[in-house]
Amino acid sequence: FSYPQYQPQINMTILKGEKGERGERGMQGKFGKTGVAGSRGHTGPKGQKGSAGAPGERCKNHYAAFSVGRKKPLHSNDYYQTLIFDTEFVNLYDHFNMFTGKFYCYVPGIYYFSLNVHTWNQKETYLHIMRNGAEVVILYAQVSDRSIMQSQSVMLELREQDEVWVRLYKGERENAVFSDEYDTYITFSGHLIKYSGDP
């Protein structure tokens, strides 16, 4: 008589060992394909109106130009005479006053001025380009049997409110400039070359 052999079975789940160390991080996998774009969301509510911005600087026109003419002759008298012009070719922003015969500087800077006259035969021609009551340059022609065109030009640095005009010398001599109603023999022109505020 033989006894049956008994073989015990061990439950491996109850034989848990100690926690091991963390392994190294593996390599990153490949990116997946781009998914389909989702549908557009609903429009959000309208935001509140923003506050007004600070006021900007006032726009300034840094230009000045004029060109005027005279169709009437002028003879000297016992006092100085300002040359008044009756023909306006260019008068940008009305800086030249046709009633006073003067250019008023509203844009400070460097200006170019030119004066052209027709002399009178057997008479002297004697004028000045004036600035604020001071003589700047002279236009002069001696007595001659012939009448000729005479010119003068100058560049001036003007400040705001400066005045420039043409003055006929008083009658210590027989002094005159010629012109007539059919042609313009006398012209006075000026324009801004450089605004004083420019670098």
Residue 37 lies in a domain: no
Nearest to 107 by CA among 4, 196, 5: 196
Reported as a single tens digit per residue, the pLDDT across 143-189 is 888 888 999 999 999 999 999 999 999 876 688 899 988 899 999 99
Residue 79 lies in a domain: yes
Class of residue 35 by CB neighbours under 10 A (exposed 0-12, middle 13-18, buried 19+) = exposed
Q: How big is the chain, counted in residues?
A: 199
Residue 130 lies in a domain: yes
Residues 6+ apart with CB under 8 A from 155: 110, 111, 112, 113, 193
Q: Which domain holds residue 136?
A: 65-195
Reported as a single tens digit per residue, the pLDDT across 94-147 is 999 999 999 999 999 999 999 999 998 888 999 999 999 999 999 998 888 888
- The count of domains in the chain is 1
CATH number at residue 190: 2.60.120.40
In order, the DSSP letters of 61-83 are ----EEEEEE-S-EE--SS-EEP
Reported as a single tens digit per residue, the pLDDT across 23-64 is 777 777 777 777 787 788 788 788 777 777 676 555 565 899
Residue 140 lies in a domain: yes
Residue 127 lies in a domain: yes
Residue 95 lies in a domain: yes
The Cα–Cα gap between 78 and 143 comes to: 19
